[in-house]
């Protein structure tokens, strides 16, 4: 039975920092990460989509988090075919993902940037979130094959944003394609009334990992501002819909990462806290009903959400409960 890790997509988002969730005395770079890692066992690095990660930062992240804590690193925009700012490119290279020399250099920089996380066992996965125009077909399959060749040995997760990948007549082929390269399929929660809505399917394509990303259910997902797109408060009933799905994923993979991307104010951290409580309560209820194991299933019962790894707070600093806030300043990001 796999373990379930719950966290958020970014711990440095300006709206979160401004919400008051980080207590006084822990609002610098080191304090924020330590505070977060005392509460959650996983986080997604969103900044690596906008700028290539640096070795020094990765090393500091590893040093500031306890053993067992992991980072899911979002692939740099150029590596997934997204538009990329020229200012984000190293050494004045053009932002041209079709240029083999440019790609080679960017891949080398990205690989070096996350190496400290991989070396210290902190690399949970590398997330390849492909753009909405990335559709099934020969070119897409070639692109995935190249990604697999360049990332041999890495834990990979793939999120498709065009719904055709998971249409009923295509889903089996999509699963086979990802499984061929050992890539974990990313399940998503989002509004289901738009033409671009990706269905909430939960395929397992890697025995090592499954990932679920909660984007919120805003009707402004396709057309609104970044703030409008991600402004969503998950209620317990919406999260409870995912409890059996997450449990089934944990029955088939070594680890499940449940990540909240509704990054407006402190909505994501509060949703992650709520989901952790629901998963733990669900597991305890199942154990009371069936103390010998989950009825009809093999294994030692319902998987629980893993708490943040044990860590020793800095001298003079005590963990404090999360605080709610209505702040929801605009979020940078593609999601």
In 46-91, the DSSP E strands lie at 70-74
Give dist(CA 155, CA 308) in Å, integer. Answer: 21
Among 265, 331, 271, 233, CA closest to 22: 265
CB atoms inside a 10 Å sphere around CB 155: 21
Q: What is the pTM of this model?
A: 0.87
- Rg (alpha carbons) of the chain, rounded to whole number: 19
Q: Three-class SS of residue 164?
A: helix
Residue 68 pLDDT exceeds 60: yes
Give dist(CA 80, CA 161) in Å, integer. Answer: 12
Give dist(CA 43, CA 124) in Å, integer. Answer: 9
DSSP state of 199: P
Confidence at 317, pLDDT banded by 50, 70, 90: very low
The values of phi and psi at residue 295, to 5°, are -55, 135
State CA 76 to chain mean position distance. Answer: 14
DSSP state of 190: -
Among 54, 61, 72, 73, CA closest to 37: 61
Sign of CA dihedral 301, 204, 52, 82: negative
Predicted local confidence at residue 312, as pLDDT: 45
Confidence at 266, pLDDT banded by 50, 70, 90: very high
End-to-end CA distance of the chain: 30
Q: Three-class SS of residue 137?
A: coil
Model confidence over 181-205: pLDDT tens digits?
999 999 999 999 888 899 999 999 9
Residue pair 1/299 in contact by the 8 Å Cβ criterion = yes
Give dist(CA 50, CA 45) in Å, integer. Answer: 10
Average pLDDT (299-306) is: 65
Predicted local confidence at residue 223, as pLDDT: 76
Residue 332 pLDDT exceeds 90: no
> How many residues would you count in the chain?
335
Query: pLDDT over 70 for what percent of the chain?
Result: 85
């Amino acid at each position: 039975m796999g373990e379930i890790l719950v966290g958020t997509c970014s711990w440095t988002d300006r709206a979160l920092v401004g919400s008051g969730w980080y207590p006084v005395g822990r609002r610098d770079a080191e304090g924020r990460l330590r505070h977060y890692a005392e509460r959650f066992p996983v986080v997604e690095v969103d900044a690596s989509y906008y700028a290539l990660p640096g070795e020094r930062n990765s090393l500091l992240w590893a040093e500031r988090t306890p053993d067992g804590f992991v980072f899911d690193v979002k692939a740099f925009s150029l590596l997934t075919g997204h538009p990329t700012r020229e200012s984000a490119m190293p050494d004045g290279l053009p932002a041209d993902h079709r240029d083999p020399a440019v790609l080679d250099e960017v891949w080398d920089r990205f690989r070096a940037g996350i190496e400290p996380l991989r070396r210290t066992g902190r690399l949970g996965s590398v997330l390849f979130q492909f753009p909405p125009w990335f559709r099934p077909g020969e070119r897409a399959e070639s692109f995935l094959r190249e990604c697999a060749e360049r990332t041999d040995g890495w834990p990979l997760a793939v999120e498709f944003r065009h719904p055709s990948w998971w249409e009923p007549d295509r889903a089996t082929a999509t699963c086979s394609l990802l499984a061929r390269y050992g890539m974990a399929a990313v399940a998503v929660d989002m509004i289901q009334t738009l033409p671009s809505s990706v269905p909430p399917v939960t395929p397992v394509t890697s025995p090592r990992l499954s990932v679920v990303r909660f984007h919120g259910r805003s009707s402004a997902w396709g057309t609104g501002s970044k703030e409008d797109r991600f402004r969503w408060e998950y209620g317990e009933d919406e999260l409870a819909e995912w409890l059996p799905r997450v449990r089934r994923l944990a029955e088939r993979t070594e680890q499940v990462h449940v990540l909240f991307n509704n990054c407006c104010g402190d909505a994501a951290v509060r949703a992650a806290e709520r989901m952790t409580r629901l998963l733990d309560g669900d597991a305890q209820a199942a154990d009371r009903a069936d103390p010998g194991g989950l009825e009809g299933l093999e294994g030692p019962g319902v998987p629980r959400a893993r708490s943040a790894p044990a860590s020793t707070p800095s001298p003079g600093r005590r963990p404090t409960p999360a605080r709610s806030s209505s702040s929801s300043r605009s979020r940078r990001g593609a999601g």
